[in-house]
Amino acid sequence: MTRNMLILIAAGGSAALLLGAWGSQYIGGLQPCEMCIWQRWPHGAAVLIGVAALLLPWAILPLLGALSAAITGGIGVYHTGVERGWWEGITECSGTGGLSNLSADDLINPNIEAGPPLIRCDEVQFEFLTLSMASWNALISFGLALIWLMAWRATRPR
């Protein structure tokens, strides 16, 4: 397979995962937690790197694409661990982070607008074949990282 075809597959995979995340949010009504948002940024970077790599023959670009895919995969593994209770998550996702800026009067006042509801990172909103969206993101992203590495290998002079 050619370098450009591998880049199209890898960057297209990240684009498809982003579109799936946005579709589940804006069409399916699943609101993302903080770590879900974190997982989207490296996919966006991988798509931009893919466009650049198709235009420029630089060997560093597929390596950067692999790094982006590996980063979002790592975040997915961390998020999966939080969901499964293997380790604690971040304060913004724990259910207490959103209340920390409210006074005691605010907490007992039923008329106060506390902002948007907190989406917990330690609760799975959707599962497919017993894996959460974070788990699927990790698995697919590590596969995309391998495809990026194949593109890098195809870029190197022989």
Residue-wise pLDDT for 138-148, tens only, equals 999 999 999 99
Contact 14, 47 (CB under 8 A): yes
Cα gap 28→145, rounded to integer Å? 28
pTM of the complete model: 0.78
CATH architecture of 3-88+120-155: Up-down Bundle (1.20)
Q: Kindly tell me if the per-residue pLDDT of 107 is higher than 60.
A: no
- Average pLDDT score over residue span 44-57: 94
State residue 134's pLDDT score.
85
Q: Please enumerate in sequence order all residues whose Cβ is within 8 A of that of 52, keeping only pairs 6 or more positions apart, or say none.
A: 61
Higher pLDDT, 147 or 132: 147
Contact 143, 57 (CB under 8 A): no
State residue 121's pLDDT score.
65
Q: Within 10 A of 76 (CB to CB), how many other CB atoms are there? A: 26
Retrieve residue 148's tokens: 């990026």
Q: Provide the mean pLDDT of the chain.
A: 83
Q: Which of 41, 104, 100, 107 is nearest to 75 (CA)?
A: 41
- Average pLDDT score over residue span 100-119: 58
Contact 157, 64 (CB under 8 A): no
**What is the dihedral sign for C-alpha 147, 150, 152, 154?**
negative
Retrieve residue 122's tokens: 């330690």
